[in-house]
Amino acid sequence: MKIAVLGAGAWGTAIAIHLAARHAVALWTRDGLQAGAIVAARENVRYLAGFRLPDSLDVTADFARATAGADLVLVATSTAGLRETLVRLRDGGQRIPARISVIWLCKGLERQSGKLPHQVAVETLGANVPIGALSGPSFAQEVAQGLPTALTLAAQDAAFARDAALAIHGAALRVYSSDDVVGVEVAGAVKNVIAIAAGISDGLHLGHNARAALVTRGLAEIRRCGLALGAKSETFMGLAGLGDLVLTATSDLSRNRRVGLALAQGTPLDAALGGLGHVAEGVYTAHEVDRRAAELKIDMPITRVVRRVLDGELGPKEALAELLAREPKAE
């Protein structure tokens, strides 16, 4: 199978390394200088240092070359870059032959529109292109290293989800299929917001009890939001829900948790983001989720205070006080 991975950040590079063991893979980056540097070093020094790229992996800044003859396209950009990349695939590249299918790896809501990735995909590609979301607890470094990882591939077409999962599944990377696209996308997006809250809690040295409470109540918020948008309840207890939330809220490899840690230590948001060198999706997703929650009349207090901290309306300690001041109620 020919697979095009669009986006040469850490996650795109890691999944390309994994797939190159079984498939013909092209890794595309929009930056010609970055492509040249990766080809010369056979390593993505900027985003995934220390992992040699297989000789068979084609790295290019030529979009048409990367997508030519592809059976499967994996979009590994941030959520902010998803629409632009899909439009480019539709209008440039190979103009989407009937056989092609598209999967995205990003976890967030589109800024301003608040749309989930599958809604963006249908708007840009139409309803006839097989599409899906790959999500779950996964750090790029560990996937590139070949450490055991399990993910969920969700598509409304259950047969396509199974086939695409089989294509990506292999070695230490297990891929399960699901037909709950909304649930998988909501879980992946909102867990990043909860991870910022967990980082703030840890940065304030509030202890393991507080973090466990945030993760548990955060999962309740994620589920509440997902059900309001039509997701299945069981999805939130699986890899894309509980699994990804626990990983992102507790590990120092988590960009979103590191943003929360920095904010708790008094670092301005711009400086915290600048120090990452990567996108922290939760910073942008918090605003869209908070807005959608208000529209849907869903109570999401953790999301709300995270958004207010990010906007400078509350300090981290004030946010904690606001959460603790809430009236007790039945769980």
Which residues are 280's β-sheet partners?
Answer: none
């994996």: which residue's tokens? 74
Q: Between residues 100 and 266, which one has the greater pLDDT?
A: 266
- Over 80: is that where the pLDDT of 125 sits? yes
For position 191, what pLDDT does the model report?
97
Cβ distance 63 to 73 under 8 Å? no
pLDDT of the residue at 324: 78
Query: Which of 191, 232, 297, 317 is an active site residue?
Result: 191
- Closest by CA to 317, choosing from 265, 251, 239, is 265
Q: Per-residue pLDDT averaged across 97-124, rounded? A: 91
Backbone angles phi and psi of 129, in degrees to 5: -85, 125
**Tens digit of pLDDT for each residue in 39-84?**
999 999 999 999 999 999 999 999 999 999 999 999 999 999 999 9
Statement: residue 330 has pLDDT above 80: no
Work out whether strand 48-52 and strand 43-44 pair parallel, antiparallel, or are unpaired: antiparallel
Mean of the per-residue pLDDT values for the chain?
94
228 pLDDT band, cuts 50/70/90, is very high
Query: Which of helix, strand or coil describes residue 135?
Result: strand
Instruction: Return the residue matching tokens 């529109």.
Output: 113
The pLDDT of residue 96 is 55
What is the 8-class DSSP label of residue 39? H
Is the confidence at residue 186, as pLDDT, over 70? yes
Q: Which amino acid is at 164?
A: A
| Full set of structural domains in the chain with CATH | 2-179 (3.40.50.720), 183-324 (1.10.1040.10)
* DSSP H helices in 42-168: 63-67, 79-91, 117-125, 140-145, 158-168
Indicate if the pLDDT at residue 263 is higher than 80.
Answer: yes
pLDDT for the residue 98: 54
Q: How far from the centroid of its chain's Cα atoms is residue 278's Cα?
A: 12
Name the DSSP letter for residue 236. G
Its pTM stands at 0.94
DSSP symbols for 59-73: EES-HHHHHTT-SEE
Those residues with Cβ within 8 angstroms of residue 153's Cβ, 6 or more apart along the chain or in another chain: 103, 132, 133, 134, 161, 164, 165, 168, 175, 176, 177, 178
Residues with Cβ within 8 Å of 179's Cβ and at least 6 positions away in sequence, in order, are: 154, 155, 156, 157, 158, 161
Q: What percent of the chain has pLDDT over 70?
A: 97
Look-up of token digits 């199974």: 162
Separation between Cα atoms, residue 316 and residue 231, nearest integer Å: 32
The predicted-structure confidence for 6-34, as pLDDT tens digits, reads as follows 999 999 999 999 999 999 999 999 999 99
Output the CA–CA distances (angstroms, integers) from residue 274 to 132, 184, 269, 306, in the order listed.
Answer: 31, 29, 8, 19
Q: Is 2 a catalytic residue?
A: no
How high is the pLDDT of residue 166?
96
pLDDT tens digits, one per residue of 127-169: 889 999 999 999 999 999 999 999 999 999 999 999 999 999 9
Question: Span 308-329, mean pLDDT?
Answer: 87
